[in-house]
Amino acid sequence: MNKIFRNGLMMLATGALAVSCADYNETSGFTAEPDPTYVEPYNDLDPVKSYINKEKYPNMSLGATLKVADFNKQELAHAAAITNFNNVTFGSTLMSGAIISEKGIMNFLSMIDLLNHVQEIGGEVYGSAIAANANQADKWLEYLTSPIEIPVDPIDDADIDYTKMEEWHGTQISGKNAAKIVKNYDGSDNALMVPKSSQVYIAEGFDIDLQGKYTVTFYTKVEKDATITCTFSDSTMMENAKDKKKYQLKAGNWQKIVLESLSPKEDATTGYFMIGGNKNADVYIKAVKIFHEPDNHRPQTDQERNDTIHYALNTWCETLMKYNEGRIKSFDLIEEAIDTKSTLGNGMYDLKHAGKDQIFWQDILGSENYAPVVSDIASAAFTKYGGNPADLKFFISESGLEEAKKFESLEYWIGVWENKGAQIDGINAKLNIFYSEDAATQEATETTLNTLLDNLAKTGKLIRLSNFDFKYQDAEGSYVTADKITAEQRQKLADFYGHALKLYMSKIPNEKQAGICKTNMVDTSNGSGDPVGLWTISSTKDWVRTATYKAFCDALSGK
């Protein structure tokens, strides 16, 4: 049964189908419509990838970026990508952050679906970054490296028996009458009397464990119903009091009051337990006992964290490659590792390092071992689950390589990693350039692009250009949106796309061309965003080919 895509809707048909080359593109029994609307002057063009001159550029390829969910719908975006591009990549939606839950549950169902489909139709997938700083399973790594629970014993902080006390020398904060020991209060034992409308520390002077949980037990009696406010080490949030501050006392017999799970205020400096606020009657205290359960966790040691992160990386790579089954052969190994705000002693940029509440792989694995460890683990898992190691290619993905120092720093780190045994086959350079109507600005952009491609070619690595999405800037420096761009401006932008493609194919040796990748196949935000697409959005929400579509076809064919 062949699958046909028209106007973004999937329809099923049986039997033979006769369609023109302009309307459909056949791929191993799979039929997809490249776009639903053909208007002059581009209705006679074939799918973009068919224009690659394989005699001159045998390794040249085109990639497109989609979300996994959009691809698996097998509607318009899927059809356009499969028909017009050689490979598809899925960005952050195939990275660990989108697949692994906080407790380590991995959901590869969507990836399995898309890989099965791509395998069926003979397509290719370029793998998302195996390790990076962003879009990682941060909650899982935080969970794995959280403090370890250990056995602890309760610690006694105060144990005061007022029945045996002759005089009281504690602290009274307020009140007209003074707190004191009343002898033989109930006919046999002494008691501490806390006057009404006063505040008195009935226990104090013990050390504070800010991480501990405290229990306060005291025996009290009043001759009239009264309401007291309880304060523990600057914190008045009493867990089992009626309104978490006050406690109701009934006249009559001695009452045992237990307050649990108390925490000192974060800025408390000394331990105490105070009662007060009773307006109706004096309060008598027979005894007070305070103890706390220390925090029963300890931080993981450096070795434990190291072992944990290695476990996490092994588990991620093992499971990823298990379901990949050798089908994805090219991956970004690590992504966006370099920090332009931090410099090493040799003048090169350092790698990024995490803040207080984050974990970056390189912080545990070590900067010099970062890529070697990831490539060793990932390649071993790739081979274990059916992949041919001779087919496996790893790229270092980095943006901002137009800056000379960042490019030099990337070369430095690649050298360090390769000396440590890392497999690094190529560079995935993320572009961030635009076309400008200002002649001087545009000249500078073209010079920058020329220099970048020359530098990339000199590395001898496979070279892939991603984020191949160029915005349009007018002479005043404002970006022009897709719904405002004129036909003349669109043509200028298309010509620049064609120029950039030709530069790549002329400057990067044929055997090192890993291709280019479009982040957006269609203009963004339904036309209100940037005019970066080979298609734009029509008033009827169809995708319509733009001048950039033709520019790609012409440049790839060698025109």
Tell me the three state secondary structure of residue 204. strand
Compute the average pLDDT of residues 141-162: 95
Distance CA 171, CA 274 (A): 9
Tell me whether domains 35-145+301-557 and 155-297 share a fold: no
Q: Residues 218-241, buried b or exposed e (16+ Cβ, 10 A)?
A: bbbbbeeebbbbbbbbbeeebeeb
Query: Do the strands 471-473 and 434-436 form a parallel or antiparallel pair, or are they unpaired?
Result: parallel
Superfamily of domain 35-145+301-557: Glycosidases (3.20.20.80)
Compute the average pLDDT of residues 501-507: 98
Compute the average pLDDT of residues 5-33: 32
Quote the pLDDT of residue 357: 77
Residue 41: pLDDT band with limits 50, 70, 90: confident
Distance of CA 491 to the CA centre of its chain: 38
Quote the pLDDT of residue 245: 56
Residue 214: pLDDT band with limits 50, 70, 90: very high
Compute the average pLDDT of residues 79-88: 93
The reply to whether the predicted model has a pTM over 0.75 is: yes
Question: Is a pLDDT exceeding 50 seen at residue 321?
Answer: yes
Quote the pLDDT of residue 25: 40
Quote the pLDDT of residue 533: 94
The encoded tokens of residue 285 equal: 């205290």
Residue 548: pLDDT band with limits 50, 70, 90: very high
Quote the pLDDT of residue 32: 52
Domain ranges of the chain: 35-145+301-557, 155-297
Compute the average pLDDT of residues 454-465: 98
Could you identify the residue written with the tokens 């169809």? 542
Distance CA 522, CA 499 (A): 20
Question: Is a pLDDT exceeding 80 seen at residue 392?
Answer: yes
For 99-113, 205-219, 462-476, which range has the lowest pLDDT when averaged over its residues? Answer: 205-219
Top-confidence residue, 34 or 230: 230
Question: Is a pLDDT exceeding 60 seen at residue 329?
Answer: yes
For 18-32, 98-112, 185-199, which range has the lowest pLDDT when averaged over its residues? Answer: 18-32
Q: Distances from the Cα of 161 to the Cαs of 158, 361, 413, in angstroms?
A: 10, 55, 69
The encoded tokens of residue 269 equal: 């400096």
Quote the pLDDT of residue 23: 34
Quote the pLDDT of residue 546: 94
Tell me the three state secondary structure of residue 293. strand
Mean pLDDT of the residues in the chain: 89
pLDDT tens for each residue of 294-303: 989 999 999 9
- For residues 363 and 303, is the Cβ–Cβ distance under 8 A? no
Distance CA 349, CA 174 (A): 62
Distance CA 450, CA 500 (A): 9
Question: Is a pLDDT exceeding 70 seen at residue 267?
Answer: yes
CATH 1.10.3720.10 is held by the domain 155-297: no
Distance of CA 332 to the CA centre of its chain: 16
pLDDT tens for each residue of 332-388: 999 999 999 999 999 999 999 998 778 999 999 999 999 999 999 999 999 999 999
- For residues 497 and 487, is the Cβ–Cβ distance under 8 A? no
How much of the chain, in percent, has pLDDT values that exceed 70?
Answer: 91
Q: Quick one: which H or E segment has residue 514?
A: strand 513-518
Question: Is a pLDDT exceeding 50 seen at residue 7?
Answer: no
Residue type, position 88, single letter: V
Residue 504: pLDDT band with limits 50, 70, 90: very high
Quote the pLDDT of residue 320: 98
Question: Is a pLDDT exceeding 60 seen at residue 198?
Answer: yes
Quote the pLDDT of residue 39: 60
Question: Is a pLDDT exceeding 70 seen at residue 238?
Answer: no
Residue 542: pLDDT band with limits 50, 70, 90: confident
Quote the pLDDT of residue 492: 98
